[in-house]
Amino acid sequence: KKSEVSEVMTKADMKPKSMHRAKIWSDDIENLYRFQQAGYRDEVEYKQVKQVDEVECWPETGFVKKLQRRDNTFYYYNRQRECEDKDVHKVKVYVY
């Protein structure tokens, strides 16, 4: 299961054109929540900063499993949903 962000070309100078806040939870919002907890905008920025091609995901759910923060510590995430309804509006959705 590929997220929409994966299909966007990961160029070194990619900057989002606009941003809006999430209204309802979805798989993509869950993954954005995880990237933003680790200090990144989204998968595009994570791949640029960390110079990786793939992000480790749970095979069952497709959710991000592990992220490396900018200070090189790791965040490990559960197989299940972690972004609660009360936190959905905090998630920023960037448009490229």
pLDDT tens track for 22-34: 999 999 999 999 9
Q: What is the pLDDT of residue 11?
A: 52
Residue 27, number of CB atoms within 10 A of its CB: 13
When pLDDT is averaged across residues 9-34 and rounded to a whole number, the result is: 86
Tell me the pTM.
0.85
Give the residue from 60, 56, 63 showing the smallest Cα distance to 28. 63
CA pair distance 41, 92, nearest whole angstrom: 8
CA pair distance 17, 67, nearest whole angstrom: 25
Q: Is the model's pLDDT at 7 over the cut of 70?
A: no
For the chain, the structural domain boundaries read 16-88
Own/partner long-range contacts of 77-83 (Cβ < 8 Å, ≥24 apart): 77/34, 81/25, 81/30, 82/30, 82/33, 82/34, 83/25, 83/29, 83/30, 83/33, 83/34
Confidence bin at 10 (pLDDT 50/70/90)? very low
Confidence bin at 2 (pLDDT 50/70/90)? very low
Q: What is the pLDDT of residues 45-76, one digit of tens each?
A: 999 999 999 999 999 999 999 999 999 999 99
Residues 32 and 91 sit within 8 Å (Cβ to Cβ): yes
